[in-house]
A and B are shown apart, each in its own frame.
Chain A
């Protein structure tokens, strides 16, 4: 089944404790992206990647890191999480380098709480 998977789905952590949220897609997609969803703010893009080893900042990159060492994986790293990073996170992928051409496929989301 074609899909985007994220792990973990739910995570409660404490301020300053490094964490990684994994994202993997099995559709051989070029483009991958991370978003955070907050009430009243919609989805805001954190980082995106148009190809392996190519990443770029979105609208809200502060406090986050990403890497794209393999085409299928795009982990999101929070080196020192803070309470303002409590949010619902989505990973997405699309076939071409531009998400304008093709549908973005979204993962099921990761709900993160930072205490």
Chain B
């Protein structure tokens, strides 16, 4: 069975600082990995996804994530935080192309301080 663990339910950074949100996964087959973002009072939106190929994936709003198979990780980063990045971020995994559903992590609330 697939699972996702997000380390740190709350992360706080200063505006302009590096953003690092951690995600580790478990999957019995090569996974497809996703990061979704939820702004206040809204549904989730896709930030980026990894399927196959290049392990460094770029997404919207300057975010990127790197798939590291040896570490079973898919951490999300952004070099310089902006106030508008304040939101909740969810990592999710699907068991390859045949996966019929996504399993989401617990979420990480990102706060950006001026």
Q: Which residues of A contact B (CB under 8 A)?
A: 4, 33, 35, 40-45, 48, 50, 56, 58-59, 90, 92, 97-101, 103-104, 106-109
Contacts and interface: CB of A to CB of B under 8 A. Distances in A.
Interface in B7-61: 9, 32, 36, 41-46, 49, 51
Contacts of B44: 43, 90, 92, 104, 106
B70 interface: no
Would you list the 9 A-B pairs with minimal beta carbon distance, nearest first?
A106-B43, A100-B94, A42-B106, A43-B104, A103-B46, A100-B32, A100-B99, A106-B44, A42-B107
Interface in B83-98: 90, 94-98
From DSSP, what is the main secondary structure of chain B's interface residues? Answer: loop
A48 B94 CA distance: 14
B42 A108 contact: yes
30 contacts: A33-B101, A41-B106, A42-B6, A42-B105, A42-B107, A43-B104, A45-B102, A48-B101, A50-B100, A56-B100, A58-B101, A90-B43, A90-B44, A92-B44, A97-B100, A98-B99, A99-B94, A99-B99, A99-B100, A100-B96, A100-B97, A100-B99, A101-B97, A103-B46, A103-B49, A104-B46, A106-B45, A107-B43, A108-B42, A109-B41
